[in-house]
Each structure stands twice: as structure tokens, then as C-alpha cells.
Structure 1
Amino acid sequence: MEKDEIKRLNFLLQIYLDVNVDKDFSVLSKNEDPFFIINTVGQLVYVNDVCETLLASTIPELLQMRLSNIFISTCLNETQTFFFEKGHEKLTNFDSKISMKNGTVMDVNVTTFPILFNKEVVGSYVVLKDITLIKMERELLSEKQAVAAELAAGIAHEIRNPITAIKGFLQLMLGEYKGEPMYFNIVESEIARIEVILKELMVLAKPIKKRDEKLRIRLLLDQVLTLMESQVLLNSIQVEKRFYLSEETILGDENQLKQVFINYIKNAIEAMPDGGKLLIEGSISAEDQVQIRIIDQGCGIPAEMINRIHEPFYTTKEQGTGLGMPVSYQIIKEHKGDMNIISNLDGTCIEVSLPIVY
């Protein structure tokens, strides 16, 4: 890249920083996410306090560094950067290694996504997570899920029999009753709701065995959007599809994956009670993964909620069960995929990655 071009892009990046980050605004929480911002040649131009702690260096020290001063050389490309190599016009996620001050090496998970200004990529956000901490969090979540699964199996077993009896007698009573059926209808609908909850509990307790078949992911997403068309129209939602996909296939259970995407799209619709734009993106990553992003324009999800969103029974919805997100996450994991959430005051992006099969 020519020097004049670097200067021009750095100038645009500085304008972006002055307008956004320096005025206490960021697409990331300054208190929760360890992140820094780099320019197009890998120079650090902004570092938040949490990242300063993670890297054990002061902010002034870090602002004198490039990526080559932080990451071990084998993790970088010839230009001593990595986000251009990974695909600079989209969010990417990968594992890497950091050389610490004390000579040790820290394994980190890196998420990068571009800073667009005047329709040009002028830099990139770089979010870091200590892989050791990620593993501890996953182990803790796994323990919680195991307890929840045991509890779910017990609850479902104890409730299923009396619910079946109640439903049967209600049908008999309906046949003999000649008055206003409204109360019976309410009871019947509530019983149906309990049965839905029991079904989700059993998915947590003992995941339904999936029927593996080759699925065209683009066709599956189109079918899901067709199913959701009425809800989209009723809620004044404008759907935009950006599919950079053709005939790519994944291996999985069609019904389970539809359940996942219906759940995420339904959540996105509920996040925009006054209408808005819903963006559905589909693309291929360098790691032979299909990446599906569901992006809404809602009020966002607080960081403390994102940290608990996969906990069974955790919900802020008045009519929610708190099982939709953990069940969906479990299905994705059963399909050897992953899910990531990025959220701010401008909306939420749910990204699902699934392996391509040939």
C-alpha cells in the first residue's frame, strides 16, 4: 500500500475515532470487551482499559505497538497484519497466540470486524478473549446444563402424566357442556403451552436424535423466511437478504435447524416492536464454514444478559420459558457448529457457523 494512501485512510480513521469512540460511543462495551482498534497497516490507534489489563501493558505503551509487537510472527502474514488476509470486509473469528511481557505465550480467540467510513475500510476492531477463560466458562456452563438436564427430566416426568389426564377429562367435559366455551378454550390453550414447555425440557434433558441429511443451506433459509413471512408483515419488518451462497450443503436435521433459525428470527422481530429492518446474511468463511447472520435494529442486549443467554430458564420476557436460546445453542453444537452474539444500542447480530460438506 502506497504511503499517500495509508495517510489518507489514517486521516479517515481519525475522523471516525473523533466522532465515535472519543465521545464515549463504541459498538463494544468499554467495560466488558477487551478490544483495540488498528489502522490498515496494523498500528494500534485505540485501546480500551480491559485490553490494557489483559495484555499487561499500559495504554501509552500499546499505542506505540503494531500487531507484530503483540502476536507471535507465525500468526501474521507478510504485511504483519491478519485481518486483510482473513477477509477484511466481514466479521472473522480465529484462534491465535500473543507473546506476553514475561516471555510466556497466551492462547487467545480473536474476533475482527471492519470499520467502514465513507464506504471504505479504514481500520478494524480486534476483540480478544483468553482461551483459558473461555474453556473455564464452557466447563461451568456444561455443569449447569447437566444439572438443568437432570432437573428437566424429573419435572417433565412428574408433570406429563397429570397433564395427560387433565387434557383427557377436559375433552370429555367439552362434549357435554353447552354454555360459553371461552373458559374451556383458555384452559385448553394453557395446557397446550405446558406441553410445549415439556417438549423443550425434554430436548434439554435428552437431545432428540438428529436425522442427518445433506441440506442446501440457502434453500433452508428461504423456507424459514417463507414460514415467518406473516409475522414479518404483521410487525412492519422489512427483510433484506444478502446471500453469497449458491449450492453449498451442510449435514444436519432439517427440522431442528429450522427451529433454530425460526427462534432467532422471532427474537429479532420481538426486538423491534415498532418495526424496522431485519438483515439476513449468508456467506462462506475461509475455514469451509457457512456463516449466517441475523441482524436486527432493536435496542440491543445488555452485556450481562449476553453472558447468561444460554442458561436454561433465564429470560426477561413475560411469556418466555427461558429455553429457546439454550435449546437452539445445543442444537447448533450437536451439528458441530457455533453461535456468537454481538450487540449494541443499534441492534443485535446473531452469527451461526456450520461446517460445509462436499
Structure 2
Amino acid sequence: HEINNPLAIINEKAGHIKDIFTLTDTYARDPKLIDLVDSVHATVERCATVIRRLLNFTHHINSSIQEIHLAEVINEVRAVLVRDAEFRCIEVFVEVPDDIPVFESDRGKLEQVFFNLFNNAFESMRDGGRLEIQAKQENADTVAVTFADSSQGIADSEYRRIFEPFFSSKTGESGTGLGLSITYGHRWQMLSLTLSYHGSAIVLP
């Protein structure tokens, strides 16, 4: 409640601001302002979703399984973060073949997995860069998704701890360090690699 209540207030005030902008001719003609308010709404909803996922992770709530179209899920998360990528001067490329089969999973948790991986990649590229997301079918039972960024990568002393709750390599900075811990909680094995251009790759088998 200590987090959800302030979020509800932010959401309500953002709605009032949008109403004012829409009803005022000067602001109504500027779609960027409306887009910014819509972005606030979307971000508040994203925060609320993250809180629910944290509670699920803590209390081990059962999953809600449904059919998953991989490209659709990845691109929806990408769309939420597109402005963040533009602000950080990060190019994002998604390559998911059309023949990737539909599979069953918890869509909400899967979205959170990809959100965490996007966010960790963005935070590691402080001066801009490139994020490549590729998917391929390894065998009849496995679809591998690779997140590769052009950052300096994860130190050998740190990558074994990236799934520990509350661990973060960003010393002295804000953050819970829960992102990849939640990802691991999705019961996927994950592998962290260092690429030839000193970036990091996360592979989801």
C-alpha cells in the first residue's frame, strides 16, 4: 500500500493533466504533450505490474499459463521502452523468425523477464549502444532467446551472482538488484557470456 497508493495518486493527477491538455486548444494541438502524459500512465501501470510480480516472486503464487507468441511479447515490451531507448541513444534490433512455434507460459512473468533484460542492457550502456535480440529454435523442445548488448560486459567475479536477490553491480546507486533474480525465478536456466565486442549476452533456453 505504501507504494501502490502514491502510484494511484500519480495516475489520477496524470489523468487530470491529460484532460486539461485535451480541453485546451494550445495544448491539444501538441501531440507530444499528450504522448508524454500517456507515457506516465503506461509507466505507472508498469510499476504496478512490477509490484505484483515481486509479490508473486516472494509468495510463490501459482502461474497463469497461456499460449505465447514470442515475437508479440518481445515487441510489446520493446514498445513500452522505446522512448527510454531513444533517450539513451540505444538502437534495438529484434529478430524472431516466423517459424518459431507457439508455446505455453505465464505471459505476465515472461513480459517481466524481457523487461528486466531490456532494462539491465539499457543501464549498462551509459553512452548509447546497440542491443540485439535474436530467437532461434534449438531443437523440438527448446527455443533460445539471446540478448546481446555492446556494453563492457559482466565481470567474471559478478556474473555468478546475477541471480541472487538484491545483488547489484551498481555500487552506490539505486536499485533492488531483483531483476535477474525474478528472471531466474521463472525456472529457466540462463547463461551469461562475454562477446567479442566486450558486450554481454543472456541466453534463455
CA apart distance, 1:293: 0.5
Residues 1:341 and 2:192 aligned together: yes
More strand by share: 1
Residues 1:324 and 2:179 aligned together: yes
**What's the counterpart of residue 270 of structure 1?**
123
| Aligned counterparts, 1:296-335, within 5 A | 296-317=149-170, 318-331=173-186, 333=187
Q: Give ranges in structure 1 of 5+ residues lacking alignment.
A: 1-159, 172-194, 354-358
**Structure with larger RCO (C-alpha < 8 A, sep 6+):** 2
Give secondary structure in 2 for the equivalent of 1:260: helix
**TM-score when scaled to structure 1?**
0.41
Distance 1:284 1:198, change over 3 A: closer
| Conservation of the 8 A alpha-carbon contact between 1:218 and 1:246 | no
Distance 1:233 1:244, change over 3 A: same
Q: Give ranges in structure 2 of 5+ residues lacking alignment.
A: 10-47
Question: Which amino acid in 2 is paired with 1:268?
Answer: A
Please list the CA deviations of residues 158-201 of structure 1 after superposition, one character each: whole Å capped at 9, or x if unmatched: xx6xx48xx69xx8xxxxxxxxxxxxxxxxxxxxxxx8987565
Please list the CA deviations of residues 272-315 of structure 1 after superposition, one character each: whole Å capped at 9, or x if unmatched: 11111111101100243111111000011011111111111111
| Conservation of the 8 A alpha-carbon contact between 1:197 and 1:321 | no
**TM-score when scaled to structure 2?**
0.70
**What's the counterpart of residue 85 of structure 2?**
232
CA apart distance, 1:249: 1.0
Higher Rg of the two aligned structures: 1
**What's the counterpart of residue 16 of structure 1?**
none
| Aligned counterparts, 1:1-358, within 5 A | 163=2, 199=52, 201-246=54-99, 248-317=101-170, 318-331=173-186, 333=187, 337-343=188-194, 346-353=198-205
* RMSD of aligned Cα (Å): 2.6
CA apart distance, 1:217: 1.0
What percent identity do the matched residue pairs reach?
25
Question: Which amino acid in 1 is paired with 2:183?
Answer: S
